[in-house]
Amino acid sequence: MMTSAFIIWFYMTVWYFIALLKKRNDLADTAWGLGFILVAFSSFILEPNQKLLISLLLISIWGFRLAIHIYNRNKNKKEDPRYEQFKNSPYLKVFMTQGFLMWLICWPIINSSGDSSWFNLLGILIWVFGFYFESRADRELKNFISNKANKGKIMQAGLWSLSRHPNYFGEVTMWWGIWLLNMNSNWWTLVGPLTITFLILKVSGVPMLEKRYEGNQEFEEYKKRVSVFIPWWPKKPKK
């Protein structure tokens, strides 16, 4: 586990210096998905097994897609305002903090061992379901935003009619799939999916976006009808 911790520290430190050169700390978001690929790859090299090989494939698909998506979303735009508060000490507050969280989320991968059982293979199906949700939700939102006629409006169609944050639901679901794929008797690796679930539901995901739209009348009506996280049939508007 300490080897993975060192790899993540070195990786995030490199990205910190890149961010200094580019003068934008939101590069940490692009580094996020790629970092998991690095951890999965190094874990497989250190202790190769079937579960890690599958995990490496799945995490690579997710990580590259996410990195490309975030890079394209942020290029030619001002730095994400969320990072404004970290201007004084970005190394610790942004890059090392994200590196530590990455390490916790990767516990199922870092501690993977043994042969696959039937319940491990269920993790692949859960991951595929989550990846579908995240990638489709991101694509729907991108298409919605790219239409100038939708400026200032709230996305409420497709998967966004079932959940106010379907992309986040998909990401959390994927990590529970990765945990199940690599699980044996190493129950403590629950730290991984629990960490990403807590972060998205209580810290940097859902709460920050919900706060951004507080007071928006269209969003307030949307909140009354649509589930905050777990996809569900929307409530019928009251007459």
pLDDT digits (tens, 9 = 90+) for 167-216: 999 999 999 999 999 998 788 999 999 999 999 999 988 998 899 898 89
Q: Mapping DSSP to helix (H, G, I), strand (E, B) and coil, where does residue 25 land?
A: coil
Q: Cβ(112)–Cβ(51) under 8 Å? A: yes
- Return the amino acid letter for 11: Y
User: Exposed/middle/buried for 86, CB within 10 Å: 0-12, 13-18, 19+?
Assistant: middle
User: Exposed/middle/buried for 48, CB within 10 Å: 0-12, 13-18, 19+?
Assistant: exposed
Q: Cβ(178)–Cβ(92) under 8 Å? A: no
C-alpha 176, offset from chain centre: 12
- pTM listed for this prediction: 0.93
- Return the amino acid letter for 174: M
| 8-state DSSP, 202 | I
Closest CA to 19 of 72, 60, 79: 79
Residue 74 pLDDT class (50, 70, 90 cuts) = confident
Q: What percent of the chain has pLDDT over 70?
A: 99
